[in-house]
Amino acid sequence: MATSRSKLSPLEILHNGPVIPVIVLHDVDHALPLAQALLAGGIRVLEITLRSEAGLESIRRISAELPELIVGAGTVLSPDDLRMTAQAGAKFAISPGLTPSLFAASHDGPIPLIPGVTTASELMLAMERGFTELKFFPAEAAGGVQTLKAMYGPFPRITFCPTGGISPKNYKEYLSLANVACVGGSWIVPPDLIVKGDWDKITELAAKASAKL
Ligand code: 3PG
């Protein structure tokens, strides 16, 4: 699948999973070795969150140096976040929730937004704005696989990326669902391994997660 086109659709992005590492970086010097380790383990899409100050610069470095990776910005909470991450080179933005201002900013914006929903009503609001690829967050706390199965009845055309509480124990069950294209999770990028610079171990975790099911 192509990974270097300038504007990918949300569905193309999600189908480049099946597992999207959710990354929190506190040192920009970790950005490139981490991204290289993930790439070596077969990861094609990753999410760098804006939860830390190093997030934005990490997006900039990885996007510039490793164009074969589809770099997304996570924890995008405002129109400003969206604008800054697009300028930094992110190929997409992903948000834990949805707001009218974020919707407005994403329309005709330079990069696609994958908004987060938890309930049927939020999902319907997103649909009204034309969004059909959504993050389901916080997945496990919001009923996990059972909730997604129930959502498939009324909303068969919605594709989800569940995130929050996904682990090596349950990710395959999520990926077996008809309305799930990929999952997001932090288990491939444990903070202690990043701090230690144990890139081989991260490559190993990535390879396990991205192996054919
Ligand atoms: C997210 O930001 O999407 C989640 O916090 C990641 O959740 P996890 O740490 O439970 O994988």
pLDDT, tens digit, for every residue of 36-92?
Answer: 999 999 999 999 999 999 999 999 999 999 999 999 999 999 999 999 999 999 999
Q: Say if 23 falls within a structural domain.
A: yes
Q: Say if 5 falls within a structural domain.
A: no
Q: What is the pLDDT of residue 6?
A: 59
Q: Say if 3 falls within a structural domain.
A: no
Cα–ligand 1 centroid distance for 113 (angstroms): 17
Cα–ligand 1 centroid distance for 164 (angstroms): 4
Q: Say if 198 falls within a structural domain.
A: yes
201 has catalytic annotation? no
Number of neighbours of residue 129 by Cβ within 10 angstroms: 15
Q: Which two tokens stand for residue 157?
A: 């055309």
Average pLDDT per consecutive 10 residues, the chain (213 residues; last block may be shorter): 63 94 98 98 97 97 97 97 96 97 91 97 97 98 98 98 97 97 97 98 96 75
Q: Say if 162 falls within a structural domain.
A: yes
Residue 180, amino acid: V
Number of helices followed by number of strands (H, E) in the chain:
10, 9
The ligand 1 atom at the shortest distance from the C-alpha of residue 187 is 11
170 ligand 1 Cβ < 6 A = no
The answer to whether 189 and 74 have CB atoms below 8 angstroms apart is no
Residue 19, amino acid: V
Query: In whole angstroms, what is the distance from residue 94 CA to residue 126 CA?
Result: 13
pTM above 0.85, yes or no: yes
Q: How many residues does the chain have?
A: 213
> What count of Cα atoms within 13 Å lies in the side-chain half-sphere of residue 28?
12
Q: What is the pLDDT of residue 20?
A: 97
Query: In whole angstroms, what is the distance from residue 158 CA to residue 154 CA?
Result: 10
Q: What is the pLDDT of residue 1?
A: 40
135 has catalytic annotation? yes
144 ligand 1 Cβ < 6 A = no
The answer to whether 30 and 52 have CB atoms below 8 angstroms apart is no
The CATH number of residue 89's host domain is 3.20.20.70
Number of neighbours of residue 59 by Cβ within 10 angstroms: 31
The answer to whether 146 and 170 have CB atoms below 8 angstroms apart is no
Cα–ligand 1 centroid distance for 109 (angstroms): 25
Q: Say if 1 falls within a structural domain.
A: no
Of all protein residues, the one whose alpha carbon is nearest to atom 11 of ligand 1 is 185
**Selected catalytic residue, list 135, 201, 204, 212:** 135
How many structural domains are present in the chain? Answer: 1
197 ligand 1 Cβ < 6 A = no
Q: Say if 118 falls within a structural domain.
A: yes
Cα–ligand 1 centroid distance for 6 (angstroms): 27
Q: What is the pLDDT of residue 213?
A: 67
Q: What is the pLDDT of residue 3?
A: 41
Q: Say if 4 falls within a structural domain.
A: no
Owning domain of residue 131: 10-207
